[in-house]
Amino acid sequence: MLVYLLMFPNLFPMNSVPQWADILLGIFFPRILILIYIYQNMGYDNIWFVAHLVVAIFAYMSGGHQTNRRRRSRREVVVQ
């Protein structure tokens, strides 16, 4: 998305998000930025909005479990 913003600004999706927020959200929370774009261009009752929202919730809720499991398994290997 940053390539399009910097090299092809006329192809970047129309939105009301300030450019600094486009860059920060694109780097740190791209799924939230995609949700904003879908909401502004197609509405919240679109299947793509629902699909991205479900995946975002699932990814953010389950991401911590994977990290904790990896940390625990590394500790067990070091302790043994």
Q: Quick check: 71 pLDDT over 70? A: no
pLDDT category, 65, cuts 50, 70, 90?
low
Q: How many residues does the chain have?
A: 80
pLDDT on residue 73? 65
Q: Which one, of 40, 32, 46, lies nearest residue 14 by Cα?
A: 40
Tell me which residue range forms the domain holding 43: 2-79
Angle ∠(21,8,46) on CA atoms, nearest 5:
60
Tokens linked to 33:
């930025």
Q: What is the pLDDT of residues 12-55, one digit of tens each?
A: 777 788 888 888 888 898 889 889 989 988 888 989 999 999 99
**pTM of the entire predicted model:** 0.64
3-state helix, strand, coil in the chain (%, to 5): 80, 0, 20
Contact present, 2 and 26 (Cβ < 8 Å): yes
Work out how many domains the chain is built from and give that number. Answer: 1
